[in-house]
Chain A
Amino acid sequence: MPTVLSDTGTHAVPPSGAGLLLSPQDTERATGWTLKPEGMCQAELCVPLPATMRQGERIDAAAFWRHLGNPVAHDRAGETWVLGTGPEQRNQALAGLQAPDFALPDLNGKIHRLSDYRGQKVFLTTWASW
């Protein structure tokens, strides 16, 4: 069962042969974009879905993701796909100077969101054992 890794999580999807051809429902789970008559939509934003990205009922999710300006990476077997976030969206997120939110576990598995600490000055620092 192929796996899609994206900002919306880790998703097992049905095998689709070559490429990443997904049902509209699986595309929505993997990308956060919903197929509507006017195109692919997320919240109030809709973009047309080119006919070349449809194969019958299925959507070429990788092509659509690249169409949005995002990177797509996959293994040789086509079993693991990463739908990354493109430079435009990432640069825009930083340019507003609002600290991008994230949710990560501590050693006990408790999830902490950066936004949980709003109202305090935060010294956010990275480190590694390596």
Chain B
Amino acid sequence: MWEDLQTCVFDAPFVVIAVAEEGRGAEQARPWIEKARPSYPCLIDENHVVSALYGMVNVPQCVWIDERGTIVRPPETAGSTDHFRKMDPATRTLAPALLAERNAARKAYLDAVRTWIRTGKHALPGDEARARLPVITPDMAMADALFRLALHLRRQGQEAEAAEHFAEASRLHPESWCIFRDAQALEPSGLAGGPAFWERVNALGNKPYYVPPRL
């Protein structure tokens, strides 16, 4: 959906940079990128470097960066919503009213990005941006190190030991869906959306999977 942003004609110079957090490497992302044929840079991040640098915990998350390289909106959910939790499990579809709600939320977010590009609105003052930054704890930093170790071991074919380090990384940083999901075995669809995922999602209760952005 970012192509809609990139192909808009703005007075201000603007670029989408999409980063694929793909611990299994570029080939996992290739079919998606080739199908989308994006006009913007689409980068491969097999060690989740960007998530670690910015304290991101899920995909899609985004950061707005101004012309001087300043973060004007820290990581937040990029247009996705929790409506998927209300899908009919048999058909994996949403009721029309819920679908309309989801689409409206996505549109509102994209509209906000366009407004920022044109007018600067929605950029946060420094103090507020700083207040919204994630705080990296020692456990999170250790989790990222273990995750990188596990990714390396999985690439070397040492899946059993990798699984142990993935599990410990996820225990230390339970809010990170990036760590949890990239560690999971993939379903035939290519998604890490099996029973373990749904068990974890359901355990959220009233907490959101995609925290709504505060526009």
Contact = CB atoms under 8 A, between A and B. Distances in A.
A and B: interacting chains: yes
12 contacts: A5-B148, A5-B149, A82-B152, A90-B52, A90-B55, A91-B133, A107-B34, A121-B66, A121-B67, A126-B59, A126-B178, A129-B28
Interface residues of A, number: 47
B190 interface: yes
Contact of B17 (A76, A83, A91, A125): A125
Given A73-B145, A85-B141, A126 B51 contact: yes
Interface residues of B, number: 83
Given A126-B19, A126-B60, A129-B20, A71 B129 contact: no
Interface of A: 3, 5, 70-76, 80, 82-87, 90-91, 93-95, 97-100, 102, 104-107, 112, 114-115, 117-130
B71 A130 contact: no
Given A124-B17, A130-B192, A107 B141 contact: no
A118 B69 contact: yes
What 5 pairs between A and B have smallest CB-CB spacing?
A: A84-B145, A120-B13, A125-B62, A104-B43, A122-B65
Residue in A3, A5, A98, A106 whose Cβ sees the most chain B Cβ within 10 Å: A106
B107 interface: no
B163 interface: no
